[in-house]
Structure 1
Amino acid sequence: MKVKVLGMIVAAALLAPQSGFGQDDPKIYENMEKTGPHSMEGTQAIEVEAKVIEVNRKTREITLKPKDGESMTVKVGDEVRNFDKINRGDMLRIRYLESLALELKKQGTAENMRDRSAEIVRSKPGQKPGGMVVEKVSAIGTITNVDKKKKNVTIKGPERSVTVQVQDKSILDQLKKGDQIEIEYTQAMAVSVETIKR
């Protein structure tokens, strides 16, 4: 789908490599849909379950064993309350949520920028341990060159310029020098504890 190609162009120019977006799992593009004549959005959710093998209350570290995978030790930050309720044998469900929104602004005038913010949402005292860290990256980049002969587009981000190949002529026809691309990428990680029924 054409919008996926444009999404990958923008992510390469404005987010990579600082955000880590798209480096390991580009599945978010599979769900990208047009939301307007010059905009699109995509979301994905990945859920992993892991059994608690060991809990170190002093260091706030837990060793986890996913159903399919090797054991790993993770440090649990203060944003996850009620750490004392996590016990060996509990099942942790870790859910990652990502969303990506893109909009092409014809002859935009905003300054190229990239901004990162984070918000912590915690469970209430007495509830099962849980927390969510929501990280948001916003960026604006400007198209500085559209070369239809070479089939490439150059996008200037806040820190660097990237030239990417675009084989689809219909996408090239939509883009012009001076157009701006606005992007908003959100990533969240939520953790909750479940009891394993034996």
Structure 2
Amino acid sequence: MTNGKLIIAAALVCLANTGFAQTEAPVTVKSEPGKVTVSDTVKTTSTVVGVEPETRTVWLKDPKGKVVQVVVGEEARNFDQIKVGDMVKAEYSQALTVSLQKGGAPLTANETQTLDRAPAGAKPAGSASREVTIMANVTAVNHQSGVVTLKGPQGNSVDVIVQDPEQLKRIKKGDQMKAVYTEAVAISVEPVAGK
């Protein structure tokens, strides 16, 4: 597993399983003829209530008082900068854009990743992002059920349901669908106010 995938997976585990107070913006849907984008962001904030340098363990407390123990990997720089009272902020965003294309482009699947971490001596922080772009052929359209069958670059077929009747009217067998999925996570440690 690449570092970017590992960091994103770790962030998802932290955000989803710790039960920390989360502020969620509602899922945003933007639609225009032949294109739709769905996106959302989750943010969390917690306070460092304990640090054990020997084991690189940090205890974090959410605003509701729940405490969780996190072991910080060696790849995270500046562990020694983390102090009791520091605030840990995390933000996870994801978006999916699907657009209708008229046929002719090669079927593709591409992925790019970025990874960034704090410079030496600074408070620990980092971010990771990933973008996956897939071009698939429309092999069937059922206008009664709303099911569109797509064939991807590796030959696999997937049925998707198009709920918007106006969008469904535009889709024809032989068209192509381009899907772009992006996700990003940013984590930062901020010092206690006044320190």
Question: TM-score under structure 2 normalisation?
Answer: 0.71
State the one-letter code of the partner of 1:72: V
Change (3 A) 1:166 1:96: closer
Counterpart in the other structure of 2:77? 81
Counterpart in the other structure of 1:192? 188
Counterpart in the other structure of 1:30? 27
Distance (whole Å) between structure 2 residues aligned to residue 52 and residue 167 of structure 1: 45
How many Å apart are 1:191 and its aligned residue? 1.3
Runs of 4+ in 1 over 4 A off after TM superposition: none
Change (3 A) 1:171 1:43: closer
Instruction: Map 1:22-101 onto structure 2 (within 5 A).
Output: 30-34=27-31, 37-68=33-64, 70-101=66-97
State the one-letter code of the partner of 1:136: E
For residue 141 of structure 2, the aligned residue among 122, 141, 146 is: 146
Change (3 A) 1:117 1:60: farther
How many Å apart are 1:52 and its aligned residue? 1.6
Change (3 A) 1:100 1:168: closer
SS in 1 for 2:54: coil
1:50, 1:64 within 8 Å by CA — same for their partners in 2?
A: yes
Counterpart in the other structure of 2:123? 128
Change (3 A) 1:55 1:118: farther
1:52, 1:63 within 8 Å by CA — same for their partners in 2?
A: yes
CA RMSD, Structure 1 to Structure 2 (Å): 2.9
Distance (whole Å) between structure 1 residues aligned to residue 47 and residue 26 of structure 2: 30
1:99, 1:185 within 8 Å by CA — same for their partners in 2?
A: yes
Distance (whole Å) between structure 2 residues aligned to residue 83 and residue 93 of structure 1: 15
Question: TM-score under structure 1 normalisation?
Answer: 0.71
Distance (whole Å) between structure 2 residues aligned to residue 63 and residue 40 of structure 1: 41
State the one-letter code of the partner of 1:177: K
2:83, 2:191 within 8 Å by CA — same for their partners in 1?
A: no
State the identity as a percent. 33
* Count of residues in Structure 1 that have an aligned counterpart in Structure 2: 172
Distance (whole Å) between structure 1 residues aligned to residue 26 and residue 101 of structure 2: 21
How many Å apart are 1:134 and its aligned residue? 1.4
1:79, 1:121 within 8 Å by CA — same for their partners in 2?
A: no
Stretches of structure 2 that go unaligned for 5 or more consecutive residues are: 1-11, 17-23
SS in 2 for 1:58: helix
How many Å apart are 1:93 and its aligned residue? 0.9
Distance (whole Å) between structure 2 residues aligned to residue 172 and residue 91 of structure 1: 47
Change (3 A) 1:161 1:62: farther
How many Å apart are 1:78 and its aligned residue? 4.6
Stretches of structure 1 that go unaligned for 5 or more consecutive residues are: 1-19
For residue 151 of structure 2, the aligned residue among 156, 173, 180 is: 156
